[in-house]
Amino acid sequence: MSGNTISNDRPADRLPGRLPVVAIVGRPNVGKSTLFNRLVGRRQAIVGDRPGVTVDRLEGECLLGARHVVLVDTGGIGEGTHDVMQPAIDSQVEAALEIADIVLFVADGQAGATGVDGLIADKLRRQGIPVLLVVNKAERFCSAVDFYSLGIAEPLPVSAVHGQGIPELIQRLESILPPVVEGQEEEEGEEPLANIAVIGRPNVGKSTLINAWLGRERMVVSAIAGTTRDAIDSTVPYKHGVVRLVDTAGQRKHGRISDVIEFVARVKAVQAFKRADVAVMLLDGGEGIVEQDMRLMQLAQDEGCALLVAVNKLDLLTEQDWKYYAERLHFRMRALSDVQVFRITAKEGKGVKKLLDEAVRAAARNHFRLGTGELNRWLTAAQEAQHPPGTDGAIVRLKYASQTGTNPPSIKIFCNRPTALKTSYRRYLEQSFRKSFNLAGVPVRFSFSSSKNPYVDKKD
């Protein structure tokens, strides 16, 4: 997402707007995770031959035909005793309905339609959401006939293990996916100068920070952790344009997501990263730095967001406390991309304007584009400053480089022996690139290949 000073280049995997969500629901041991793995094209979900193997929900982005979607695998519905069966059904289906544009209701073709299948069908039927009834393990002819009795949709027989019926399922899915909706900025006729996702654990002050930027009570603020249940976009006037702000619901450790609404919040937060240029990680100055904070920062950069860190509630810290906190924070962030740290008190509006200014600048850095001549002059200087170490006597020469994308900046380097290039030297190149072009907090992507130089007969 770009504005007047930011390039419009965007890699194909960073799409505007929200990706459609397809949720997989059904009884235990009907093959939901096997179907999930088949559709995403890799073994991401754990599968087994006993009920309850999937104890948490799992989501992944995949390409179905020509459309990118977020596919969600859920735990089995109807586990446990009869007393807890209905609450389990309600909570799992509620999770699917909260986030899904389409539900894949998976049943077992070998077992036939069961009472629990009927309960799930009744629940889905009343919601009005598009449902595809997928009858798995349908290797045997007429395995799906029994499922017409559910009265929810025409059964689609498949075998997730063998791939039987999967092309037809994907074709049906494509036909009912919601139409592509471009970003809100296009609907309003004005592209934001930056798209900023505010991230952090529950109750660190994210909504308070956004309210301070907006100058009004746009977000509900409460002392109860997890008050924000959705990722809500807002726009704020900024100099000669607007900035889009995305307030993501508070994040908790994935393994501890036991509440449906928290799970929904996590899925939508990950989607927000895909639409953002920069993520502002908000920390509570009155609390320590935990592993979840680091995981969330890494996740934001893995999704291509530039990263800033803001420590909130500084009125709770003495100068000595702040010094210790800052030292600990910088130590924990040593593996990240030279991330800048800011001190704010969102409730009183202290430091919030400077933070917004820096976030807009970070978004511009994430769209950084460099001419081929200047890029290769940097590559030559970087090699002269530190020669690539060889492996087993082999000399590694970096020949030339080209930029293949932005948001984040992506650089392809051609060399004689790409497999011999050590990880330590790759890190050196990333650090040198960020330092040379002032790209603090930007997750630069480097790839290495062996090829003939297309620029050998050209001059910049």
Q: Give the residue numbers of the binding site for GTP.
A: 26-33, 73-77, 136-139, 200-207, 247-251, 312-315
Closest CA to 329 of 304, 352, 359, 297: 297
Closest CA to 195 of 240, 246, 230, 268: 246
Tokens representing 133?
């009834």
DSSP run (H or E) holding 373: helix 372-385
Which residue shows structure tokens 């933070």? 355
Instruction: List phi, psi (to 5°) of 247.
Output: -95, 110
Which residue shows structure tokens 């007047």? 4
Q: Is 342 left (phi over 0), alpha (psi -120 to 50) or beta?
A: beta
- Beta bridge mates, 67: 64
DSSP run (H or E) holding 430: helix 423-436
- Beta bridge mates, 282: 310
For every residue of 115-127, DSSP letters joined together read HHHHHHHHHHHTT
How far is it, in rounded angstroms, from Cα 365 to Cα 443?
10
Q: Give residue 212's identity as a one-letter amino acid code.
A: A
How far is it, in rounded angstroms, from Cα 303 to Cα 182?
19
Give just the sign of the alpha carbon dihedral 75, 81, 83, 86. Answer: positive
Q: Cβ distance 378 to 413 under 8 Å?
A: no
Q: Cβ distance 18 to 99 under 8 Å?
A: no
Tokens representing 269?
């937060």
Q: Give residue 222's identity as a one-letter amino acid code.
A: S
Count Cβ atoms within 10 A of the Cβ of residue 158 and give its class: 0-12 exposed, 13-18 middle, 19 or more buried: buried
Q: Cβ distance 73 to 160 under 8 Å?
A: no
DSSP run (H or E) holding 32: helix 32-40
Q: Is 267 helix (H, G, I), strand (E, B) or coil?
A: helix
How far is it, in rounded angstroms, from Cα 12 to Cα 426?
25
Tell me: cis bond preceding 237? Omega within 30 of 0 counts.
no
Binding residues: 26-33, 73-77, 136-139, 200-207, 247-251, 312-315
